[in-house]
Chains A and B, each alone.
Chain A
Amino acid sequence: MSFLDEREEFRGTFERLTVSTMDPHTTTKKTRTCRDCHENPKSMGLGYGNIFLKKDGSWGLTPSSSANATIFGQDRRLDAFVSTDGAPIVHTSRKGLRPFNQSELEKIVRVGLCLPCHPGMDDPVMKNWKGDTTPKPCKAFLYMARPVK
């Protein structure tokens, strides 16, 4: 928010980015796809960008938007609600409402790694998914996430 005085001269700003929850009233019978949530950092609250896997097995984000996008000097990306380490960067409208935390983000991203080969809930790998331990990491995943020598 910008404040102008009686002479219409700029006097200062007050900033607060808040997110709330709602029912959008845009229900469709067909649902969003697995990849729309598990591979899309925007859906996870990380903002527009690309998720990449590091050689040490950890993951990171290359944001598409600039951190100095606003003219009033905020050093944050307006489309991001949470950082990759799960720290919220916005206020929320209600007690108990929050973006995903780090543990949840990692679980979501982990599923996304397998989706290119195992798409959909009908795939046996996804049907029997029980977290990080099962199914046993496949060779493709081990190759991708091999530790740096």
Chain B
Amino acid sequence: MVECNLAKVEVAGSNPVSRSTTLLYYFGHPLWLPFSFLLVGARLYKKVDRHAAAFLQLALLLFLFLQAPWTSSALAENAPLKRPNRVTRTLSGQIDMCLSCHKETLDKAHARQVLGCYSCHLGNPLAGTPEEAHKGMVLNPGDLRVVDRTCGQEGCHVQQVKDVKNTLMATNRGIISTLRYYWGETRNHNEPLTVEKLLEENAPKSLALDYFRKLCGTCHLWLPRHTLPSFLSAKGGGCTACHNVKKARDGRATTHDRHPLITRNIPMENCVRCHNRSGRIGLSYRGLYETEGYGTPFEDGETSSLQLEDGRFVKKIHPDVHFEKGLVCIDCHSQKEIMGDGKQRAHLFEQVEIRCTSCHSGKKVLERLFQEQESKKKFPMLNNLVMARDGRILLEGKKDKKTHPLRPFSRGKCRNPQHVRLSCQACHSTWVPQCYGCHVRFDRGKRQLDKLAIKKTFGMWQEFKSYMRFESPVLGVMEERPKNEDGKEGEGGRVVILVPG
């Protein structure tokens, strides 16, 4: 960063009144104390009626309150403003006057000396006053409405921003089309209706879409951050929904240095913030089973002591073996699956590529995946494979950097002719959350927050759950080809887990 000396200039400006000045004016006004003493003294010698004393006291207080803001701003208008005495620049030589006030620290790639503030937060980097500098600024550069000018600007993450807008986390196509298909509003299960289209003014309307707007509309990348109430405010935010992490509270992060860090090492908490309903995979993976709404008395006749931030009761049972080994979501689900490859897909199963057999098929498959990773292919399936000294290919955990052996499945048991149709999950997933008594109520007379339009509209949806179970996952068949060549229902396909919903 280059800083040049600049003559200190004092100018009249609209400097905002500081909070301490206003408080001082209210309670430390020179008139307040002597007047109060006068009144108390007069009251003691019974010169003034007690009601009159109270009235005068209140009248003075009211006068001060009414006068204070006007007087304070009048004072402020005449107060001299100190301009920064240096021109601040980024390492590339760009003038970024924001840096003269903002001392926040970031990660290396986005360091303040490298990018400055303007590159991400926009505003006016040449302005000399905070008011001018903050005009047109964006608090969250990752918001998909502005991301083309911030994270996705030329020279930064152009392609990733284009890709992510087509990913299911931004479009929610699968949720929207499945909902409408289930409710009989469309026969097209692959409808190209997206969140972006529902945000338009003349967006289509229907009961299923109203349900989506009010219940499902909290989990998509178009949702502006910090607009919804309570725990929902942390959701959404475009790129920042995943890539932001709070600084560790180790004393270094002062009140003036609360800028979050930007990371590629997405912590599991960021994924689970959304992926904790529907299939509940974010909970199940950590061994958390969501119990009945009233809190099943699992603990000595008392409700579970574990509750999620939204009030749901959970019970700790057996977690996923990969979680026990320290693996997080991004260890298996890589960039192409999460941020997409630019192609818009209708359903999750079309976007997910990773299979159990990708890691657990043995040396040949692993060597192919390792070569794919080393060849710098644009979207390798896995990008955390490492080769050990003895030639074995291992998986390196992105969070803890520990290496894990990738053992092949048992040929004898898993390839037994009688069980060859079984998916890995059919045997190795020992429990799955199942809600058999889910019910929805639509109350036309009440209002509820539309999470896309961010305003309350008529029609309230309420979800009720009952008959929750976790044991004995039900099995069924996913046909590769639904009918045989002769038109009869075949017995091909994979044996998979069926869940209500």
Contacts and interface: CB of A to CB of B under 8 A. Distances in A.
A75 interface: no
Given A26-B285, A96-B479, A99-B476, A45 B498 contact: yes
A144 interface: no
Contacts of A104: 477, 491
B321 A96 contact: no
Given A14-B183, A19-B499, A24 B474 contact: no
Interface string B275-302: 0000101001101000000000000000
A100 B493 CA distance: 11
A22 B476 contact: no
Given A6-B444, A36-B472, A96 B478 contact: yes
A43 B472 contact: yes
Contact of B472 (A1, A29, A40, A90): A40
B497 interface: yes
A98 B441 contact: no
Given A31-B428, A32-B430, A22 B499 contact: yes
Interface in B77-133: none
Range of interface residues on B (Cβ < 8 Å): 35 or more
B474 A97 contact: no
A108 B192 CA distance: 40
Contact of A5 (B183, B444, B491): B444
A26 B183 contact: no
A148 interface: no
B445 interface: yes
B493 A96 contact: yes
A26 B318 contact: yes
B472 A20 contact: no
Given A81-B474, A96-B479, A7 B445 contact: yes
A16 B439 CA distance: 10
Chain B CB count within 10 A is highest, among A24, A93, A97, for: A24
A95 B498 contact: no
Contacts of A42: 471-472, 474
Interface of B: 178, 182-183, 189, 279, 281, 284-285, 287, 318-322, 347, 349, 356, 413, 416, 418, 424-433, 436-437, 439-446, 467, 469, 471-482, 489, 491, 493, 496-501
13 contacts: A8-B443, A16-B183, A18-B500, A22-B432, A24-B279, A25-B320, A25-B429, A27-B425, A31-B430, A43-B473, A92-B476, A96-B480, A101-B491
